[in-house]
Amino acid sequence: MHEVNDMEVINMVGGVDNFIQSALFSRTFREGMALVEETANYLDGEGREISKTMSRSGAMAYAGSSMRLTTQLMQIASWLLVLRALREGDMSINEAQDTKYRINPRDQESLPKRNQHEDLPQALGELIERSDSLYDRISRLDLGLFASQDIDSLEQGAAAQQRALMKAFGSGEM
């Protein structure tokens, strides 16, 4: 059986406008926001209590991992909220494609190795894995959704530069 990848989904739904109206976006939005809420509840409740009983090095690993997780989830939530604002007409496509709203693929070299989660509580490790998976999926969606806008911008920039050169050096052949 053929598993559908993110790029095939984007091609099927027909770009940003259709994606933000799709059931896939709605499901991804709900999944992301639910994960943010679940993580916040864990870190403020059970996770906080568990971290108090950990060794110093374990507590340090817990603190670093929970900060990284929280930061990643805030990036996910921001991306989802930008696309929702786009869907609701509160933001233009030009604003939404600004680099400050984009989700970039993670540098695999800088990621903690899987065995580094062994000292963490199982629930935190599971939240990290789910967040990592969602982040990777959203970064692929972001790339697929906004790549054509990036290419259009590059082409427009290149055409403008070519026109400026032709103007500066005359309209002769280059």
**pLDDT tens across 36-61, in order?**
999 999 999 999 999 999 999 999 99
User: Would 156 be classed as within a structural domain?
Assistant: no
At residue 146, the pLDDT reads: 83
pLDDT of 17 higher than 80 = yes
**pLDDT tens across 156-166, in order?**
445 556 666 56
CATH number of the domain bearing residue 134: 1.10.8.930
More confident residue, 116 or 63: 63
At residue 170, the pLDDT reads: 62
At residue 2, the pLDDT reads: 47
User: Would 155 be classed as within a structural domain?
Assistant: no
At residue 106, the pLDDT reads: 78
The distance between the two most distant Cα atoms of the chain, rounded to a whole number of Å, is 76
Residues 6+ apart with CB under 8 A from 169: none
User: Would 161 be classed as within a structural domain?
Assistant: no
Nearest to 86 by CA among 14, 9, 21, 152: 21
Q: What is the mean pLDDT of residues 144-167?
A: 58
More confident residue, 50 or 149: 50
Q: How confident is the model at residue 113 (pLDDT cuts 50, 70, 90)?
A: low
For 46, the domain range is 6-147
Prediction pTM value: 0.74
Domains contained in the chain, number? 1
More confident residue, 135 or 157: 135
Rounded CA separation 132/73 (Å): 9
User: Would 164 be classed as within a structural domain?
Assistant: no
Rounded CA separation 34/155 (Å): 39
User: Would 113 be classed as within a structural domain?
Assistant: yes
